[in-house]
Amino acid sequence: MGQAIYNILVFPGLFFLILFGWAAEFIDRKIYARGQKRVGPPWYQPVADFIKLAAKEDIVPEEASATSFKLMPLIAMASAVTAFFYIPLWTTEALFSFYGDIIVVMYLLTIPTLTFFLGGWYSRSLYSTIGAMRTLTQLFAYEVPLFVVILASALLANTWSLSEITKFYALHPHLWIFNLLGFGIGIIALLGKLEKGPFDIPEAETEIVAGSFTEYGGRLLAFFRLTLDIEVIVGASLLAAVFLPFGLNLTPAIGFVIYIIKVLFIVILLAVLRTILARFRIDQMLDFCWRYLAPLAFIQILINLLVKGLLLR
């Protein structure tokens, strides 16, 4: 019992996630800045931002429904953290696992996006409402390709459990190469999920101020931002577990280092992508996701079916 609480709250749970999330945010911002020839923030900037926001007064709009408005950041964070426990990190064994947890993780990762929508919707502000609508529209665009490519990987492993998937790839160490297309699609979909880079449409500053978060401030905004930081880690860990399953059977210390490198690699990839691309328009984003991303994801399924039929007989 004590061990479980330690795992949930400290390592590899909440505390580790928050620290790693801040570190990832710093790396993301630093790379973004250096790519633009700027000096960039100092290493403590994410922490300083959090403290500054947390020290400020919470302001709830008069017309917003106060309970839902205040509850949303907490729900978002709780679900993002919960999803993390089902993802195998540096061993083939996740903290908790059961048959079918892959579906649970995917849905837990959808909840933060839904809370962004509901938070914006309950704010009753015009910009928030438009941001909320965009969040939801965008969700429908990237969610299908993301689901399909992760399921394609699961299909190859013939299981519905994330831990089982990593075990399978540990046994067949070269099969992950066939999933590279899926990995690319996953990265692009993750950009949409995290509302970053070319897909920061729901919070496009020059159009709708801050989208869903326009009315948020103080501690509530601090929690939303922390959720986004945590989501980066959870999303990257998920992609790393599903698509980059190597270095899992080593000693925990080396495995841990490899895991950190894998996540940071994905974080850096996301940062570079958001540096080199201009923001899409919402219709272009939908178009792109349904016309290119979704068919490519189905091709991934096809590849995996062929591999399964020909190589794993």
Binding site for another protein (CB under 8 A): 31, 33-40, 126-127, 130, 198, 200-201, 204-209, 272-273, 275-284
Which residue, among 241, 272, 280, has the nearest Cα to 36 in the 3D structure? 272
Instruction: Write down the least CB distance from residue 203 to another protein, Å.
Output: 10
Instruction: Write down the least CB distance from residue 182 to another protein, Å.
Output: 20
Nearer to another protein, 106 or 268 (CB): 268
Instruction: Write down the least CB distance from residue 189 to another protein, Å.
Output: 16
Nearer to another protein, 219 or 279 (CB): 279
DSSP reduced 3-state for 294: helix
Instruction: Write down the least CB distance from residue 134 to another protein, Å.
Output: 8
Nearer to another protein, 63 or 283 (CB): 283
CA distance 89 to 87: 6
Instruction: Write down the least CB distance from residue 260 to another protein, Å.
Output: 20
Nearer to another protein, 167 or 196 (CB): 196
Instruction: Write down the least CB distance from residue 81 to another protein, Å.
Output: 30
Nearer to another protein, 125 or 161 (CB): 125
Nearer to another protein, 86 or 216 (CB): 216
Nearer to another protein, 206 or 251 (CB): 206
DSSP 247: S
CA distance 126 to 215: 10
CA distance 166 to 254: 17
Which residue, among 143, 91, 157, 149, has the nearest Cα to 113 in the 3D structure? 143
**The two structure tokens encoding residue 112:** 């933060």
CB 73 within 8 A of CB 227: yes
CB 80 within 8 A of CB 230: yes
The owner of tokens 């965009």 is 134
Q: Which amino acid is at 155?
A: L
Burial of 116 (0-12, 13-18, 19+ CB in 10 A): buried
Instruction: Write down the least CB distance from residue 36 to another protein, Å.
Output: 4
